[in-house]
Amino acid sequence: MNITTLSILQQEYPKLMEDGIIQSNVPLKEHCSFQIGGPAEVFCTPYTQNQLLDLLRFCLNHKTPYFILGKGSNLLISDKGLSGIVISTERFTELTVEQEYITASCGVTLKDLCNYACENGLSGLEFASGIPGSVGGAVFMNAGAYNYEIKDVLHSSVCILPTWESINSLSPILYLKVEEHNFSYRHSVLQDKELIHLSSVFHLKRDNSETIKRRMDEYQQKRQQKQPLELPSAGSVFRRPEGFYTGRLIEDCGLKGFRIGDAAISEKHCGFIVNLGSATAKDVLQLIQHIQEVVYEHYNVKLQTEIRFLGEM
């Protein structure tokens, strides 16, 4: 993006600039769990659906690249940052409950969603209580743990179809039933059609809040024992290859603790790469490639990454 485009944005949406919704050169390492990444040329934090639609309309009408950012828990962002516009959904945090259904906006953290369900005596989301990230990212990736996935509790979602025709029409909103999400392992239709998640409804079951809290605590204790929660990471780096456990493969190759710069294979769980303090995206990428080469050499298994890569690496 150049100064002319930024000037046009300011001319078309001066109120968004005045309210601090549009900012420039914001460090993205402050907006992702890896704590790695250069600046966003333009960083936007809309409060409302209409503001979000205005920003998308601007991007599509002016052919400006954009990226929708949730909590950034599954991302490796380039050291050079991102050109164009980054739109954060962190301010979309509405939660409501009706009988056994909870509606959660895309920017709600999974932790807050699970705590809200617990407070309202609704069970089914305990498995997700320790998963980092937002509701939007969880639905996008069909997040899961302990043999449960988001698809198991999802009822429906509201999304934006980000095409020029749709955004400039009177009805850019899509309503998806659970079966229309085309869920599979870490995959949904949102990825295929590049849909923008707005909110989801979860269908849960009544249970005692103390019992729900006890299950959540048990899952969290397991995570603390097995995962490097004390250090910045992007969660599991690789998809699980059929018939193998990724962490065990990497550990059996003698790579536990191996590091490049400040990017290191976790001593606690070899499926995680952690930031020891000042890791760069280049460090992480080189470490990923090294792991893939060594595992393939030892076991003839090609590890596929689960994290997403943003920007020029």
Summarize the confidence of residues 34-63 as an average pLDDT: 94
Residue 116 pLDDT greater than 60, yes or no: yes
pLDDT band at 2 (very low <50, low <70, confident <90, very high): low
Tens of pLDDT, residue by residue over 122-142, are 999 999 999 999 999 999 999
Parallel, antiparallel or unpaired: strands 95-98 and 82-88: unpaired
Structure tokens at 109: 């953290």
Q: Which of 57, 91, 186, 259 is catalytic?
A: 186
Is 308 in the active site? no
Alpha helix segments (H runs only) across the chain: 3-12, 14-18, 49-61, 110-119, 135-141, 164-167, 189-192, 209-226, 246-252, 281-299
**DSSP notation for 145-183:** ETTEEGGGTEEEEEEE--SHHHHTSS--EEEEEGGGG--
Rounded (5°) CA angle 245-250-255: 160
Residue 90 annotated as catalytic: no
Highest mean pLDDT out of 2-16, 128-142, 161-175: 128-142
Catalytic site includes residue 186: yes
Task: Give SS3 for 263.
Answer: strand
Catalytic-labelled residue, pool 129, 233, 236, 266:
236
Per-residue pLDDT reduced to its tens digit, 274-299: 999 999 999 999 999 999 999 999 99
Q: Check pLDDT > 90 for residue 49.
A: yes
- Per-residue pLDDT of 185-221, as tens digits, reads 999 999 999 999 999 999 999 999 999 999 999 999 9
pLDDT, residue 36, reads 98
Can you list the domains of the chain with their CATH numbers?
A: 3-88 (3.30.43.10), 95-223 (3.30.465.10), 229-310 (3.90.78.10)
Alpha carbon distance 246, 301 (integer Å):
10
Residue 4, pLDDT score: 64
